[in-house]
Amino acid sequence: MKIGFLNNRLSLEAKIIAFILMALLLFDRGFSKMVIVGPVYAHDLLLLVATIVTILKINTKIYFPSLLLFIIISILYLIYSIFFVDSGRGGFLMVFRHYFLFFYLICCYIIFNKIFSKRENIDIGINFIIKIAKWSFVLQLCYFIYLFITVPNYSPLVGFSYFSAVGVMGIITYGAYILVYFNGLKRIVIFTIVLFVSMFLGHASSFFSLIAVFLVQFYISFTSKQRLITFFLVLVFMLILLQLPQFNDGNANWRLMYWSYIINNAIVENYLILGNGFGRPFMSMSFAQQILDEIGSFNMLGNNNPLVRWESPPHNSFLTIIFHIGLIPAMLLLFPIKSLFKQILLQNKSKDKKKLFLLYCLVGSVVWASFNVVLELPHSAVYFWLIYFTYAFYERKQTKI
């Protein structure tokens, strides 16, 4: 049986991407941190090889010029950072370490521009996402059984219990698959099971991502007037929830303070448009002291790790992008997926199941990346960009018919 991108009809770069994702799903950090030689990792090397193979092919048309501009801006900031940014204790190599967030995007942009230039490959991409989702769910259930058998006094309520980082995103996308392709009691029962599984992974944001997908599917069924009313009701409800103790623990407060700091830096200090480049610490020492004074968190002071202010971004991949290149340039990422906002805010719910599935997948993935370090690391960045580009190219295919 052919497995998604491993279909013989597909190009070498597509097969490499499929191999990378399968290796990440099955081996997680065992693959993403596998060293070939020196600072060269297997994951990054394979991704680079796939990118070079794509570049060497002729007649590669470039789609989504807004993303090309986004990439050019990031490269200009990289050049500026190499020659003018004082990375201090972080060292010169920290510039390139920070830039890997954009490296993964650039590689995926080049590769998927080639793969999805053939319309039939978009459907193959959708099927591959579905297969990753199904395998993620099955592997996670098997992993729970393994933990119960092998770990004394194991409790899924304590610590992390996820099989792999791609697997977490796969479970979120499996929830999206159920909401679109299942009906009646079967949909209710299996989606409830997936919700419970997400609760026991150790990441509350995985459960929240699935809830966001669940709410979006209802929201887009409403009329425009109902959506407006519902939006304000949900906003009030969220403001009330934020007052509860469960939403005001040290970890949540740490995130909120950090996010506010980054947003203030982008809007007030950098005038909405400027970024900080690469290699600089994500927060100042004075703000690290403020976090200690207000919520008692001393980690960012660097007592245990002197590089923590360079190595620990704000646990929101999109705020990390904004920190590096600025708020307005970062918004260029929205143009290829602008139809998502039209569907959620204005248009009637689509009857196209593939479109709905990709929309729910993208919503869940964006929520997940908004609470975790996802795009900055190799553990699941390629899977996020696969969903992003599959949605963008599928929408483009529909509008060009």
CA-nearest of 357, 355, 367 to 210 is: 367
Note the pLDDT tens digit of each residue in 160-193.
899 999 999 999 999 999 999 999 999 999 999 9
Q: Which residue has the higher pLDDT, 361 or 89?
A: 361
Name the 3-class secondary structure at 35.
strand
Contact predicate 71/131, CB 8 Å: no
Listed in sequence order, the residues at least 6 apart from 394 whose beta carbon sits closer than 8 Å to its beta carbon are 122, 126, 354, 355, 358
pLDDT at position 1 is 39
Dist. CA 176–CA 64, nearest whole Å: 26
Of 155, 73, 172, 67, whose CA–CA distance to 111 is shortest?
A: 67
pTM of the model: 0.93
Q: Is the pLDDT of residue 391 over 70?
A: yes
Q: Across residues 120-134, what is the average pLDDT?
A: 96
What is the rounded distance in angstroms from the CA atom of residue 366 to the CA atom of residue 376? 14
Q: How far is the C-alpha of 126 from the C-alpha of 354, rounded, in Å?
A: 8
Tens of pLDDT along 270-301? 999 999 999 999 999 999 999 988 888 788 88
- From 398, 383, 384, select the one nearest 343 (Cα to Cα): 398
Mean pLDDT of the chain: 91
| Rounded Cα gap, residues 213 and 24, in angstroms | 24
* Burial letters 68-84, b for 16+ CB under 10 A, else e: eebbebbeebbeebbee
Residue found under tokens 């729910």: 360
Instruction: Please say whether the dihedral angle defined by the alpha carbons of residues 357, 259, 371 and 207, taken in this order, is positive or negative.
Output: negative
pLDDT bin (cut points 50, 70, 90) of residue 13 is very high
